[in-house]
A = this chain, B = another copy of it.
Amino acid sequence: MTLSEEDYIKAIYHLSKDDKGNVSTNAIAAQMDSKASSVTDMMKKLAEKDVVHYKKYQGARLTDKGKSYAAKIIRKHRLWEFFLVEKLNFSWDEVHEIAEELEHIKSEKLIEKLDAFLDFPRTDPHGDPIPDKHGNITKVEKILLSSAKNNEKGIVIGVKDSSSDFLRYLDKLGISLGKEITILHKEPFDNSVMINLDGEKTSISALTANNIYLKIN
């Protein structure tokens, strides 16, 4: 697979995470920051290679082969992110772009040795699960902070938005993976949430609350 093909496979993977339907040409173009016509061309090529199911005017979805390939790219991306943060001391908002390049390095042996060197991490620095070498992902039960109920207590285990801006904002708030958060009160007026974090009362906006995943004990 070329670099470009791998990027399209990843895009389709991310767009079809939850629902199992087809992904539209326009949705892929938006995700890739390219044009619908380019997507159509690439879908024909990927269908030829048997990594997507594609029918004119009906969008695309990954075949089993495509899903397996996507999982391998995601695995590489997340292992490299873990390496960058844990070994090279990058912060969690800096690693995505670099991992976007590293994820295309081909060697299987490299990635298995890296996995062992890192002591087989289960999640990346943003809490996202790292697929195993067969492409299997362990799903962890999690809810959005915004949908937690009053008096519920949870551990921060992930973020929905992992843009640098959001991650740096969380740093400023003192929110990081593993932190315990108690929901004190949800404000109906603006859907902001009053929480207890490290013994302090803090109010977080609806948008922020909608991008933090909690594991409820």
What is A's interface to B at a CB cutoff of 8 Å? 84, 87-90, 94, 97-98, 101-102, 105-107, 109-110, 113-114, 117
- Contact B106–A101 (Cβ < 8 Å): yes
Copies of this polypeptide in the complex = 2
Which B residue sits closest to A90, measured CB to CB?
A: B113
- Contact B98–A113 (Cβ < 8 Å): no
Most buried by B among A87, A97, A110: A110
- Contact A114–B98 (Cβ < 8 Å): no
For the complex of A and B, 7 pairs with smallest distance between CB atoms: A88-B113, A101-B105, A98-B107, A88-B117, A98-B110, A87-B117, A102-B105
Give me 10 other A-B pairs in contact (C-beta within 8 A), A84-B110, A90-B109 excluded.
A88-B110, A88-B114, A88-B117, A89-B113, A94-B109, A97-B107, A98-B107, A101-B107, A102-B102, A102-B105
In the complex the two chains form, what is the Cα distance from A105 to B3 in whole Å?
Answer: 13
In the complex the two chains form, what is the Cα distance from A117 to B86 in whole Å?
Answer: 11
- Return A5 CB to nearest CB of chain B, in Å: 16
In the complex the two chains form, what is the Cα distance from A105 to B84 in whole Å?
Answer: 13
A98: chain B residues within 8 A (beta carbon):
105, 107, 110
Which B residue sits closest to A89, measured CB to CB?
A: B113
11 intermolecular pairs with C-beta atoms under 8 Å apart: A84-B110, A87-B117, A88-B114, A88-B117, A90-B109, A90-B113, A94-B109, A97-B107, A98-B110, A101-B105, A101-B107
